[in-house]
Amino acid sequence: MRTCIGCRARVARGELIRLVVAGDEIVPDVASRLPGRGAYLHPSLACLEQALRRKAFLRALRLPAALPAGRVAEYLAAAPGRADGPR
Ligand SMILES: [Zn+2]
């Protein structure tokens, strides 16, 4: 079970996408293969907006300051409602 950093719901890992820091931005780890601390989020722009509003990324990824999450928004916009991996 993992907690969505947007809506805080606890759901199965496969329901969520993993997000990691790459360079100086937050990116979706679609294949769940990138190293480092991950945060989990529903594949939903609404959950992303909630996470950004509450600065949940700072806590979940232990960031000293907010990083841009534009690539996450792009991914969610291109794949609405789709979680990674087989169900
Ligand atoms: Zn959520």
pLDDT for 17-67, tens place per residue? 999 999 999 999 988 788 889 999 999 999 999 999 999 999 999 999 999
Distance 25 CA to ligand 1 centre (A): 20
Q: Which residues surround ligand 1, an ion (CB under 5 A)?
A: 4, 6-7, 42, 47
CATH superfamily membership of 2-78: YlxR-like (3.30.1230.10)
Distance 3 CA to ligand 1 centre (A): 8
Q: What is the pTM of this model?
A: 0.84
- Measuring CA to CA, which residue among 28, 38, 27, 32 is closest to residue 2? 38
State how far the Cα of 21 lies from the Cα of 36, in Å rounded to an integer: 8
| Å from CA of 19 to ligand 1 middle | 13
Where are the chain's structural domains? 2-78
38: helix, strand or coil:
coil
